[in-house]
Amino acid sequence: MRLPWLPKQPQPAFVQQYVAGAWPDQRTPWREASYVVLDLETSGLNARRDSLLAVGLVEIADGRIHLDRRWYTLVRPPEGLLVAAESIRVHNLTRAELAAAPTFAMVLPELLQRLVGRVLVVHVAQIDVGFLNRALKAFCGTRLYGPVLDTARLAMTLHQHAQLLGEISPDLPAPAIQLRGLATRFGLPIYGQHDALNDALTTAQLFLAQATRLNQQGVQTLKGLLRAGGV
């Protein structure tokens, strides 16, 4: 615990660079903005008691996915946290792999470097954003900055637009928000699930399909996408 009369420790340079990042102008045509699509694998869904296990990132620039800029890392759970056998089975990880992985503090500099200045795209952002904000606050006293797009919210907006345009019945319930189901509706390939990099790639493809559909409906700027699916 820091005593109140002691000076606050300055944030590391990489954190300062992230916080001061030049975020995209919302008037920018959405295809001209840069995005980073993120997926996390965790030991559970409760950010207060569960832990990050893996991070996967895929970058989008000029309306295209750039696989040569992808990034994936395992994350070692905190000392004393035993990852449940069910989580191990779901994510196809072993406790030995996690024990040998870098800690969150070790991966944090590169993670923030890859996020700075880009629009963050996440599927069901409430979960992943919650985990990241809690981890960032604990390790460096900051939080996520910049615009965030949620592909689950974009799916809800597209469903509403389809109803208003008479393309589907107004009584048709909204689609389930599972990533696999939404990707299948667009005819997109499905990669191995519960793998952070695979799910980030599926999310990236889904986002481009959704943004293209919204573009056909007149949504042409980043601001328009944020109205449709921003967090």
Domain 27-229 class in CATH = alpha beta
Q: The pTM is what?
A: 0.90
pLDDT in tens, 128-154: 999 999 999 988 889 999 999 999 999
CA angle 207, 135, 40 (to 5 degrees): 35
Residues 6+ apart with CB under 8 A from 131: 40, 42, 47, 50, 52
CB atoms inside a 10 Å sphere around CB 10: 8
- Please give the pLDDT value at position 6: 46
pLDDT recorded at residue 148? 97
Tokens of 227: 């109205």
Most confident of 70-79, 86-95, 156-165: 70-79
Per-domain boundaries in the chain? 27-229
Mean pLDDT of 72-95: 80
| β-bridge partners, 40 | 55
| pLDDT, greater one: 202 or 164 | 202
